[in-house]
Amino acid sequence: MLTLSLALVAVTITTKAQTIDEVVGKHIEAMGGADKIQSVKSQATEGTMQIQGMEFPFKTWSVHNKAMRVDFDAMGTTNTQVISTKGGWMFMPVQQQQAPVDSDPEVVKEAASELDLTGDLYDYKAKGHTAELIGKETQDGQEFYKIKLTRKNGTVTDILLDTKTYLVSKRISSKNIQGQEVEITEILSNYKKTADGYVYAATIEQLPMGMKMDFGKYEYNTAIDEKLFEKPAAQ
């Protein structure tokens, strides 16, 4: 009888641990807690980007649910890409561009989720998203919770959470690149915490592009001049 009781307890614990609300709740705790996450208003980073054997320094500036700018230096040029709720633009001298140009509306739509600095899973129901816990899976000896996130705009991302840390290890989604649907896998690692308690992945790899970003500086709620996001007038 005792053995049966213990077995029932084990089943109850296992079932509870695999509910979507339980898993997401532990993820939020691992990221510093709901109060810390919801306090995010802006973000600024610096680091290096490695691609095709070359390394480029970059900087980013983001204002929550408004706009994001990325600058990177390559071959003696400074290149810029901006995504905002008003649209997007880019200026890529490294690609022989002579002036800023508007971004493809589909690219802007797909990148819109990156403007949410609170993360994919925080308060997802209130954002109009749905999340489904697919179950557990093991890759290279590591166990993950697999969550299917469907955003309000219809885009879908599979999120793999480490079952030990509840931090995001991978994000898998399909993106339209030059007219073709490509499955993009982001691998997040080297998690760190800022002095004021914000948790972030200091290393992000993107496959199949073979791009790796290492963040050496990560600041939250720093003052950002929103003129940074405005498209320069043509000269």
- Domain coordinates in residue numbering, the chain: 21-229
Please name which of 121, 123, 186, 116 lies closest in space to residue 147, comparing C-alpha atoms. 121
d(CA 125, CA 122): 9
Chain centroid to CA 136: how far?
A: 21
Read off the pLDDT of residues 207-221 as tens digits, 9 standing for 90 and up. 998 999 999 999 999
Nearest to 172 by CA among 151, 162, 186: 186
What is the per-residue pLDDT across 125-159, written as a single tens digit (0 to 9) for each?
Answer: 999 999 999 999 999 899 999 999 999 988 899 99
Q: DSSP alpha helices (H): ranges in the chain?
A: 2-17, 20-30, 34-38, 105-111
The CATH architecture that domain 21-229 belongs to is Clam (2.50)
Judge residue 101's burial from the number of C-beta atoms within 10 Å of its C-beta, 0-12 exposed, 13-18 middle, 19 or more buried. middle
Closest CA to 169 of 193, 142, 209, 207: 142
Q: How far apart are alpha carbons 134 and 140 in whole angstroms?
A: 19
Contacts of 111 (CB under 8 A, 6+ apart): 68, 83, 88
Give the tens place of pLDDT for each residue, 38-74: 999 999 999 999 998 899 999 999 999 999 999 999 9
E strands along 75-210, which residues? 77-84, 87-91, 101-102, 130-139, 142-150, 156-162, 168-177, 180-193, 199-207
What's this model's pTM, rounded to 2 decimal places?
A: 0.86
d(CA 102, CA 178) in angstroms, rounded, equals 15
Average pLDDT rounded to a whole number, residues 102-118: 89
Q: Residue 1 contacts by C-beta under 8 Å, 6 or more apart in sequence? A: none
